[in-house]
């Protein structure tokens, strides 16, 4: 029997859901509104909501003052590059853990996840020194590798969960049919896990896109992605809220649009294979 | 060719021995059925032959060559799984073509074999569909098609009909039997259903707890079960096994009598009992009789048109020539 919900309760829950949704959305909306205000309006007290002189001056200033196309390109290359590299490494790893688990597979998985609990700043110095020694500071390749390493545990975990949903008999059938391990992964496992892999890719691109700690600290100009681009507008000589907002909107717009169009895949990714 | 020999093959998972060392010969072209209750190791034995599990000890020879260490693909065997194990993202055509693609067969040969297999299995109209768009029976036929095109030395079937409904199961049973007649290739078939075993097999291997209890033709097993386990497992309904005074009359521990080998009368007979449940199947009536010492209830088969009802008193007489005798260890006494 379906659970009975009275209309009053339904309205209440709906209102609550909308309220929460708006609360979460509010900072983004406020940033968006502020980006169209003049600097004076942006800091006015009481705050102005919708009725102000809308201007796109902030955007043109931001574009003039800094190299948005370069930051955008860097962000795309770093996010996509680290994701592809991560997937290439994680697919065989997750395959091994899901289909030929050893005694300590569970421990390895937990250990991998535990590295996510390490405060990033703990490895800042070694990493910077290493990067300097290798001469790769402020390079895209450095960020691709670093972000890949940071997100690899999550990619492996997600793929592992998706792979576990694939019946082992199908892979055994492939083995009986003469597939080598490579063919088995390439022709059977990967196409079957494609929805899961797609969600993993999307989620990981978002994680890499939004990653700020390493991207800000390991870059200066050449490899600086959009996170650094935003940070450069929180200038020490005073806050320019409107310009900062404009820069933020420009930085988050691409990923927001991508997220909007791939909502379905993302929800699947975020529920982490919890429901079959 | 498809001669399979198991020599002292043993399988253990950690400390748990699933299959103690056993020997078995499967002749070329034979239809061999492994049958036994669930957990008896029959599927494990099949997977050992397939190469999907590694043997703990012993050797597996296929056509005289040692295949113990070979990967599944190199053994020249094809397998049909209980869950069909089709590739859901490929069309029926691609599913069937997959093993040939892996073997690197040229396209013309692939097409030829797909066409032949599809025609033989009534799949011609479904070649471009995905497995998800097919019924259970059709899926099973695709799985068989995928096995046929490899032209294997032997087919391995792992409970292939368990997921089908009863009517379809009977149909597929006949199709597989006919396929065997046509291809004359060795088939090794695992099932827990003794009816499948009886109807399809040239040779039945009855397993219990990883041990082969008896190997023989269906009628051999039916007529002369080597022990109480085989006696109870082969035949439907089960053989009645009587301990106590009735067995003592024959100077043995246990006697067995099949439901179809008991004469029933309302006036006179050796044993007297009352009818419990009577199952009317139309062609037959199976009666469960209470009150006979050493076996309660005792099952009796009678003709379809008998009019008996719950609580009636009946007299039973076992046919002397069909009484099976077993000793204390449960072994048959000739």
Measure CB to CB from residue B102 to each of A169, A183, A191 and give the nearest one: A183
Q: Nearest chain A Cα to B79, which residue?
A: A176
Residue A180: its chain B contacts at CB < 8 A?
A: 73, 102
HSE at residue B181, side-chain half, CA atoms within 13 A, is 7
Structure tokens at B35: 């049958």
Has residue B272 got a pLDDT over 60? yes
Peptide bond into B11 cis (omega under 30): no
Question: Please, are residues A188 and B102 in contact by the beta-carbon 8 Å criterion?
Answer: no
Domain ranges within chain A, ordered by starting residue: 66-232
Residue B50: its chain A contacts at CB < 8 A?
A: 176
pTM for the predicted model, two decimal places? 0.78
Q: Work out the pLDDT band at B45, boundaries 50, 70, 90.
A: very high
Has residue B78 got a pLDDT over 70? yes
At B81-102, the pLDDT tens digits run 988 899 988 999 999 999 999 9
pLDDT reported for residue B32: 96
DSSP string, B240-257: EEEETHHHHTTTSSEEEE
Asked if A61 has any chain B CB less than 8 Å from its own CB, the reply is: no
DSSP string, B74-116: GGTEEEE-TT----TTS-HHHHHHHHHHHHT--HHHHHHHHHH
Measure CB to CB from residue B52 to each of A167, A172, A180 and give the nearest one: A172
A59/A57 Cα distance (integer angstroms): 5
Q: Nearest chain B Cα to A188, which residue?
A: B87
SS3 B168: helix
Q: Work out the pLDDT band at B3, boundaries 50, 70, 90.
A: very high
**Could you tell me what percent of chain B has a pLDDT over 90?**
63
B223/B234 Cα distance (integer angstroms): 10
Measure CB to CB from residue A176 to each of B79, B88, B103 and give the nearest one: B79
Measure CB to CB from residue A179 to each of B73, B88, B150 and give the nearest one: B73
User: Structural domains in chain B?
Assistant: 4-230 (3.40.50.300), 237-333 (2.40.50.140)
One pLDDT digit (tens) per residue for chain A, 276 residues? 567 778 888 899 999 999 999 999 999 888 898 888 888 787 777 887 787 788 888 888 888 888 888 989 999 999 999 999 999 999 999 989 998 888 898 899 899 888 888 888 888 888 899 989 998 888 899 999 999 999 999 999 999 988 888 888 899 999 999 888 889 888 998 888 888 888 889 889 989 998 888 888 888 888 888 888 888 877 665 677 888 888 889 888 888 888 888 877 777 655 544 433
Residue A185: its chain B contacts at CB < 8 A?
A: none
Measure CB to CB from residue B85 to each of A173, A178, A180 and give the nearest one: A173
pLDDT reported for residue A73: 92
CB-based contact B88 A178, cutoff 8 Å: no
CB-based contact A192 B87, cutoff 8 Å: yes
Interface A–B counts its CB contacts (< 8 A) at 61
CB-based contact A170 B150, cutoff 8 Å: no
Instruction: Find the range with the poorest average confidence among A213-227, B149-163, B228-242.
Output: A213-227
A10/A22 Cα distance (integer angstroms): 18
| DSSP single-letter state for residue A48 | P
Residue B81: its chain A contacts at CB < 8 A?
A: 169, 172-173
Q: Nearest chain A Cα to B148, which residue?
A: A177
Please state the rounded mean pLDDT for residues B253-259.
92
pLDDT reported for residue B191: 93
Question: Does domain A66-232 match CATH 1.10.3720.10?
Answer: yes
Q: B72 to chain A, minimum CA–CA distance in Å?
A: 5
pLDDT reported for residue A269: 58
């Amino acid at each position: 029997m379906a659970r009975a919900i009275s209309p009053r309760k339904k309205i209440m829950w709906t209102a609550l859901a909308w309220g929460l949704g708006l609360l979460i959305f509010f900072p983004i909306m406020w940033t968006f509104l502020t980006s169209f205000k003049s600097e004076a309006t942006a800091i006015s007290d009481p705050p102005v909501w919708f009725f102000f002189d809308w201007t796109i001056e902030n955007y043109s200033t931001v574009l003039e003052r800094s190299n948005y196309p370069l930051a955008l390109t860097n962000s795309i290359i770093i996010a996509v590059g680290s994701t592809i590299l991560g997937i290439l490494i994680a697919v065989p790893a997750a395959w091994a853990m899901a289909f030929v688990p050893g005694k300590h597979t569970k421990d390895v998985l937990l250990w991998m996840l535990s590295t996510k609990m390490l405060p990033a700043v703990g490895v800042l110095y070694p990493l910077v020194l290493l990067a300097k020694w290798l001469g790769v500071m402020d390079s895209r390749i450095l960020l691709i590798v670093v972000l890949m390493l940071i997100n690899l545990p999550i990619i492996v975990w997600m793929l592992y969960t998706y792979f576990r949903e694939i019946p082992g008999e199908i892979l055994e059938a492939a083995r009986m049919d003469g597939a080598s391990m490579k063919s088995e992964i390439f022709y059977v496992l990967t196409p079957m896990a494609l929805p899961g892999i797609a969600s993993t890719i999307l989620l990981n691109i978002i994680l890499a896109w939004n990653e700020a700690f390493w991207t800000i600290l390991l870059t200066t100009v050449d490899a600086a992605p959009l996170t650094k681009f935003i940070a450069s507008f929180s200038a020490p000589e005073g806050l320019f809220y409107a310009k900062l907002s404009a820069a933020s909107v420009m930085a988050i717009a691409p990923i927001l649009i991508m997220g909007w169009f791939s909502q379905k895949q993302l929800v699947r990714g975020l529920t982490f294979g919890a429901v079959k | 060719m498809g001669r399979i020999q198991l020599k002292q093959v043993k399988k253990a998972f950690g400390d748990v021995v699933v299959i103690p060392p056993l020997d078995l010969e499967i002749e070329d072209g034979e239809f061999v059925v492994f049958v036994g209750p669930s957990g008896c190791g029959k599927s494990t034995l099949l997977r050992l032959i397939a190469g999907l599990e590694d043997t703990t000890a012993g050797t597996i020879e296929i056509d005289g060559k040692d295949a113990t260490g070979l990967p599944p693909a190199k053994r020249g065997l094809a397998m049909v799984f209980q869950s069909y194990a089709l590739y859901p993202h490929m069309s029926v055509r691609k599913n069937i073509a997959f093993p040939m693609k892996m073997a690197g067969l040229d396209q013309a040969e692939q097409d030829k074999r797909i066409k032949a297999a599809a025609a033989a299995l009534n799949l011609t109209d479904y070649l471009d569909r995905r497995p998800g768009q097919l019924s259970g029976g059709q899926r099973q036929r695709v799985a068989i098609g995928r096995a046929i095109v490899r032209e294997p030395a032997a087919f391995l079937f792992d409970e292939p009909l368990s997921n089908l409904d009863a009517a379809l199961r009977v149909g597929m049973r006949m199709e597989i039997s006919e396929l065997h007649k046509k291809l004359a290739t060795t088939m090794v078939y695992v099932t827990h259903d003794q009816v499948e075993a009886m109807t399809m097999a040239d040779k039945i291997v009855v397993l219990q707890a990883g041990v082969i209890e008896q190997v023989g033709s269906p009628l051999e097993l039916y007529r002369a079960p080597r022990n109480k386990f085989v006696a109870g497992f082969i035949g439907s309904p089960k053989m009645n096994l009587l301990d106590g005074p009735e067995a003592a009359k024959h100077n043995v521990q246990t006697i067995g009598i099949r439901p179809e080998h008991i004469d029933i009368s309302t006036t006179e007979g050796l044993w007297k009992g009352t009818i419990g449940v009577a199952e009317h199947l139309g062609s037959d009536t199976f009666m469960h009789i209470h009150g006979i010492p050493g076996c309660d209830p005792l099952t009796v088969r009678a003709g379809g048109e008998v009019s008996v009802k719950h609580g009636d008193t009946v007299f039973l007489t076992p046919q002397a020539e069909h009484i099976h005798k077993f000793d204390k260890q449960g072994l048959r006494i000739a």
